Amino acid sequence: MFSPQGPTLRELAVQALSSVDRGYDLLAPKFDQTPFRTPDRFLDAVGDALRPLGPFDAGLDVCCGTGAGARPLRPLCRRITGVDFSAGMLAEARDRAGDAEPAPHWVRADVRALPFTGAFDLAVSFGAFGHFLPAERPGLFAQVHRCLRPGGLFAFPVAAPPPVGSALYWALAGFDAGMRVRNAVWRPPFVMYYRTFPLPAVAKDLARTGFDVTTLPLEEFGRRDDGSPRCRLVLARRA
């Protein structure tokens, strides 16, 4: 899973014993060599699915990390903003963005209190929802809703849960159980769970926030045995 350029086990352990923002500050220089950075294949699939719905004026990447979301946003938006609360991740994002146009505007903020109102036509987010407890979800969605202009779109991919009893099912369940133990005995907490973002509950919270919710299958990732897509793009439009 980790390349030789990635973090050592010790570095990962120190990160996991920190708060979320401090943990990402520590991981930032090596983050792109970890499996936690959203792979280009996902980013491109989302970009392709959004293209017919654009172009957009201003795009926001929520929890932008080292800037992965700029890849799909660049061809779609005239202006791009990435927001994250880790100064270390934002520094890497700035370094890695190079000269590509449009140059993103990087903003340090906790996305549970976003400093924008009616500023964006499109918001995306990749690989970050595990950092929010289910009880925080409505508040987070309300923040994104407020950042969007009327008619604006909040889009993010959601993978189908692995089949019960599969190796991945047990791996994710084991990770979440380990995190619960860690958070019961250690401060500060590091909130990161894989199984706290089920699509039906997420869609309900989005609808309650005032979004019209649809989903698109991302066919690149195939279908499960029951015919349902392995990965969907959630499209939540500010009514």
Ligand X SMILES: C[S@@+](CC[C@H](N)C(=O)[O-])C[C@H]1O[C@@H](n2cnc3c(N)ncnc32)[C@H](O)[C@@H]1O
Task: Calculate the CA dihedral of residues 175, 180, 182, 184 and round it to 10 degrees.
Answer: -170
* Burial label, 239 (beta-carbon count in 10 A; 0-12, 13-18, 19+): exposed
- Beta carbon nearer to ligand X, 63 or 202: 63
Kindly indicate which of the ranges 110-118, 158-166, 220-228, 229-237 contains the residues binding ligand X, using the contact rule CB under 6 A.
Answer: 110-118
The count of chain residues that interact with ligand X, using the rule CB under 6 A, is: 22
Q: Using the rule CB under 6 A, is 128 a contact of ligand X?
A: yes
Instruction: Give the bridge partners for 156, in sequence order.
Output: 234
Q: Using the rule CB under 6 A, is 112 a contact of ligand X?
A: yes
Compute the least distance from the CB of residue 118 to ligand X, in Å. Answer: 20
Compute the least distance from the CB of residue 221 to ligand X, in Å. Answer: 16
- Beta carbon nearer to ligand X, 126 or 211: 126
Compute the least distance from the CB of residue 41 to ligand X, in Å. Answer: 12
Q: Using the rule CB under 6 A, is 20 a contact of ligand X?
A: yes
Q: Using the rule CB under 6 A, is 85 a contact of ligand X?
A: yes
Q: Using the rule CB under 6 A, is 123 a contact of ligand X?
A: no
Is there a contact between 18 and 190 (Cβ–Cβ < 8 Å)?
yes
User: Token pair 């990635």 is at which residue?
Assistant: 6
The 33-62 site mask, x for binding ligand X (CB under 6 A), equals ---xxx------------------------
Q: Using the rule CB under 6 A, is 24 a contact of ligand X?
A: yes
Q: Using the rule CB under 6 A, is 76 a contact of ligand X?
A: no
Q: Which residue is nearest to ligand X (CB)?
A: 65
Q: Using the rule CB under 6 A, is 86 a contact of ligand X?
A: yes
- Beta carbon nearer to ligand X, 171 or 239: 171
Q: Using the rule CB under 6 A, is 122 a contact of ligand X?
A: no
Compute the least distance from the CB of residue 69 to ligand X, in Å. Answer: 6
CB atoms within 10 A of CB 117: 10
User: Token pair 């609808």 is at which residue?
Assistant: 207
In sequence order, which residues have a C-beta less than 8 Å from that of residue 118 and are 6 or more positions away?
146, 147, 148, 149, 150
Contact residues: ligand X, CB under 6 A: 20-21, 24, 36-38, 63-65, 68-69, 84-86, 89, 110-112, 126-128, 131
